[in-house]
Structure 1
């Protein structure tokens, strides 16, 4: 059974005559990473908020682990979902990093010894143990997102939603957070839904959903979607660097294998070609 089931979903904001989402249907499996891409205004973030129960659909349904996302189940739904927003400052409630992570556990009435153990364990998982007593405002953007993710991990959700969670980070911070997500998925059965306009991030997903004007245009692997330069251009998305570089190499008579999709994979392949000629 799918962890997330979206069926015939439509939504219009109360102050608008034009619907934002039109008859969307898709699923997310356990331990699957799905990236939703599209230019600004395509409805990506609205969809994320509907899945988390922050908004209610006009039509259609959403189920999380077989539970309908509605007011009756909202408390249980929020135990199954962790949400990381674009700006981590909007999520902090504690005076220190440790306090912030403990906040959600306190709301669940976890005993103090168990809570302290969980806080230390998740801080270790995100490599932030040395910052436990720091104030959140003292941290870098990447460190703040690590703390936000740690707070979610402490509550052991089944689904992690990243809503443009790396868009405010510098390249180094973005790489750190994405590497962390890859590691967390490797260690557990955590499912990931990333809402992003960063196509490099979408390359890490198992499946990609391309949206435009509130509709699903295509669902496929990163190779079938993000690496399709014509498809990206037709929906006002700039082709990823690795796609542009692969095309330049092909024009120069150097063809990489079809399964080379990321900059790291291309770098490794190019080094192997050089080694074979030395």
Structure 2
């Protein structure tokens, strides 16, 4: 059975992510694996380590009852070490199909845990990563925002968005950012966007396309997904490629991706093109 890994630190955002993970797991018919990572320094003595770990697992199991009552199979893991390293190790070991986690913690240790940890996991995970920062009025992903630079390799990545859209009956909005208003460039990009739109529609997936004129790509994407203005779509999910072609820049994971992750209120699904284990059959609903 496919598994979704959910790191829990009991911060507000990690508990929100857990609620979202239940919805995702039910929709995809996946199992959940709840993981709590504590730092070694929490243990005063090895004599008490088993007792402490047992207590932490009991607390995790109490949280997991919500998912179990909805018919999901849930496994529970407690590990010691650096959070991002343990999360990545566990993800690889269980061959997770997704990681679902909070975008940041609340204060102090938790902020460090779910802030820098999230960025490291997004950049290194062997599977796609959902990140959630705040509670939403509704669950699911009716509107997926798919930013593309429309180079050959990037257009091939459209298949990832289609997999999610099929599972959640979503509408995909393919968008691209034009840094200048040159008519020839605008015509070319609009033509390419329409081509991608038609390809997605041919798979019986609802799709639209939009060309954005802006000087700063991260803000343009975030505003498009969140502002609700005349040129915007109320996005439920931004699908973010964590590696992109040099036509956009080699800084994506260090700059563009981190800015989107840090600034966007919209949930994000981060996918690395090398994540070959992402493609799998969507269950028949």
TM-score past 0.5 threshold: no
Greater relative CO, 1 or 2 (CA 8 Å, sep 6+): 1
- Under a length normalisation based on structure 1, what TM-score does the superposition of the two structures give? 0.30
